[in-house]
């Protein structure tokens, strides 16, 4: 390939192949961000609850 | 005495002690301050569960109540969280926070074991989980320590697990660690929700919350330290989903 096109083999291979970004299986790609979002929300809830108990609200 | 207020916390204690043993064994092989602190934290978790089971079976006595309040209500989350700090933060920051936590823990232990208790509030008549509180501590200034430890514990343990999961997810590497950290985060939140539901009148919610928490943290640790060979070999060959 290098002989015929003047483009080094590796470079030509990179240019022609589709982007191969690593990815988790589809289920995890969808579920993980949702789970992390819920966890962040619940961290805030627990922190507020702890402060409320400490303040004698409950 | 019922299954809920004796067997459930006792099972939590057994799970915690077994988990602590596995963590200590891993620490003996590989080292790492985070493993040592997680092991200590799970021992505290187990002591808390054992004290609750004792309370369910026989009622409070001074030693069991003080031990439960110190280890189960104050120290456990903070010490587990400190393990995560050693894993994620710079060594110098981890050492400083460890020193502060150690001094604060010794101070808390001294205050709790010298505190005056109201025997009338060490109730033995109802066992729902909601009566587990520090109301029996008469000496002022002790119960105000609790939120500081617990907020530090939630931020470091749960926040640290969520942060770790996000870092691995963003890089799309080590799926088992993403899942493991999510399980640890959910498990660490479970006792807090159990305690809240119990306080709002759901019997036994705290005990189940603690048991679910111990099991999920244990499962998360095992998941995070055990690579998923099939799934991870798929990861490298999978094209981007977007």
Are B1 and B57 a contacting pair, CB within 8 Å? yes
Domain boundaries, chain B: 3-233
From B220, B209, B212, B211, select the one nearest B185 (Cα to Cα): B220
- For residue B49, the Cα-to-chain-centroid distance in whole angstroms is 11
Q: Is residue A15 part of a domain?
A: no
Residue B117, classed as helix, strand or coil, is: strand
Q: Is residue A52 part of a domain?
A: yes
Answer whether B241 sits within 8 Å of A18, measured CB to CB.
no
Q: Is residue A3 part of a domain?
A: no
Return the H-helix or E-strand segment holding B18. Answer: helix B8-30
In the structure encoding, which two tokens stand for residue A55, read together?
A: 């303040």
pLDDT in tens, B55-113: 989 888 899 999 999 999 999 999 999 999 999 999 999 999 999 999 999 999 999 99
Answer whether B169 sits within 8 Å of A32, measured CB to CB.
yes
Q: Is residue A5 part of a domain?
A: no
A54, closest residue in chain B (CA to CA): B147
Q: Is residue A33 part of a domain?
A: yes
Positions of chain B with pLDDT under 70: 1, 123-131, 230-242
CATH 3.90.550 fits B3-233, yes or no: no
Across B211-226, b (16+ Cβ under 10 Å) vs e yields bbbbbbbbbbbebbee
Q: Is residue A16 part of a domain?
A: no
Q: Is residue A13 part of a domain?
A: no
- The alpha carbons of chain B give a radius of gyration, in whole angstroms, of 19
What is the structure's pLDDT at A9?
A: 45
Q: Is residue A40 part of a domain?
A: yes
What is the structure's pLDDT at B121?
A: 74
The total number of structural domains in chain A stands at 1
Provide the residue range defining the domain that includes A29.
24-58
pTM for the model = 0.84
Report ipTM (2 d.p.).
0.82
């Amino acid at each position: 390939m290098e002989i015929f096109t003047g483009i080094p083999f590796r470079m030509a291979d990179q240019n022609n192949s589709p982007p191969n970004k690593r990815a988790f299986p589809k289920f995890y790609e969808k579920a993980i961000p949702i789970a992390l979002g819920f966890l962040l929300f619940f961290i805030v809830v627990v922190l507020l609850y702890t402060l409320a108990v400490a303040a004698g609200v409950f | 005495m019922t299954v809920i207020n004796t067997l459930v916390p006792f099972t939590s204690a057994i799970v915690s002690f077994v988990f602590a043993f596995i963590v200590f064994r891993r620490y003996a092989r590989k080292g790492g301050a985070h493993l040592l602190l997680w092991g200590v934290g799970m021992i505290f978790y187990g002591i808390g569960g054992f004290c609750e089971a004792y309370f369910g079976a026989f009622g409070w006595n001074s030693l069991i109540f003080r031990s439960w309040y110190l280890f189960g209500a104050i120290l456990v989350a903070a010490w587990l969280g400190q393990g995560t700090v050693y894993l994620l933060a710079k060594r110098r920051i981890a050492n400083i926070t460890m020193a502060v936590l150690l001094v604060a823990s010794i101070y808390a232990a001294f205050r709790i074991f010298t505190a005056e208790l109201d025997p009338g509030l060490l109730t033995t008549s109802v066992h729902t989980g909601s009566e587990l509180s520090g109301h029996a501590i008469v000496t002022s200034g002790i119960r105000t320590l609790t939120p500081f430890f617990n907020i530090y514990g939630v931020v470091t343990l749960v926040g640290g697990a969520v942060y770790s999961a996000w870092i691995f997810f963003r890089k799309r590497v080590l799926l088992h660690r993403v899942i493991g950290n999510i399980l640890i985060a959910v498990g660490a939140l479970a006792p807090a929700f159990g305690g809240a539901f119990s306080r709002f009148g759901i019997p036994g919610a705290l005990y189940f919350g603690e048991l679910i928490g111990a099991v999920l943290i244990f499962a998360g640790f095992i998941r995070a330290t055990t690579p998923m060979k099939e799934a991870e070999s798929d990861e490298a060959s999978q094209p981007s989903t977007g």
